[in-house]
Amino acid sequence: MFKKLLVLLALVASPVYAAEHMDLVIASYQNEDGTPVRFQHIYNHTLGVDWLKLSGINNIDLDDDYNKARLQIKPRLKARFWETNRFAFHVVNQFEYFETTRFDRTSNRVGVGTQYNAGTLSVEVNYMPYDSFDEVGRWDSYINYRFGKSGWGFNNQYWFVPETDQYYEQATLSYNVWKNVSVQVQRQIMHQQDRVDRIGFSMRFK
């Protein structure tokens, strides 16, 4: 029941529920064979109290005929238990549902993490020692930075599983062209997979 509730929150999260919030909706073309189009939703919401946050990423990839080829729903619920200077420490529950045309997989990860904020820079690092799918721990990190008033922004997501040496990285460079509308380029690198490059535009709601 808790997992279903977490997925529901991830899909319907909106500014109504948050005093502090951010939604980024991205549409991009990618060079991956069979899945040329990706829609991505990135969000960060405060859930009523400032120590409880819901963040995450939803991806939908479409094939050449614009049918769904891949779906990923990946919310993480964070409860802050201590804050000092610019560092905040939290417990984290990360749920992931991953579906392709060939298989689907559900994972639930629990761990601890820290987040550092300074101006437009935000760095979050989590360690989750247990994964309900394959029972191995993993590190993950999220970096977000806006280059002052220049219009440029940078985002990087990275995870690493020490036990298997698997890793994933997605780096995005964006430029604001009008209000909250940006153009962006994105590069994805994954263990034993071909590199994927994307180009598209995004709209920010906050």
Element (H or E) spanning 12, and its range? helix 2-12
User: How many CB atoms are closer than 10 A to CB 120?
Assistant: 12
Each of the 206 residues of the chain gets a pLDDT tens digit; together they read 444 444 444 443 333 333 367 899 999 999 998 899 999 999 999 998 999 999 999 999 999 999 999 999 999 999 999 999 999 999 999 999 999 988 899 999 999 999 999 999 999 999 999 888 878 899 999 999 999 888 999 999 999 999 999 999 999 999 999 988 999 999 999 998 899 999 999 998 87
- Evaluate whether 99 touches 107 at the Cβ level (below 8 Å): no
By the 10 Å C-beta count (0-12 exposed, 13-18 middle, 19+ buried), 88 is classed as buried
- Evaluate whether 109 touches 128 at the Cβ level (below 8 Å): yes
**What kind of architecture, by CATH, is found in domain 2-205?**
Beta Barrel (2.40)
Closest CA relative to residue 94, chosen from 14, 203, 30, 2: 2
- Evaluate whether 197 touches 186 at the Cβ level (below 8 Å): yes
Closest CA relative to residue 71, chosen from 45, 44, 104, 29: 104
- Evaluate whether 170 touches 193 at the Cβ level (below 8 Å): no
pTM of the model: 0.84
Q: Any bridge partners for residue 90, and if so which?
A: 80, 113
Q: How many helices (H) does the chain have, and how many strands (E)?
A: 1, 12
Query: What is the reported pLDDT for 62?
Result: 95
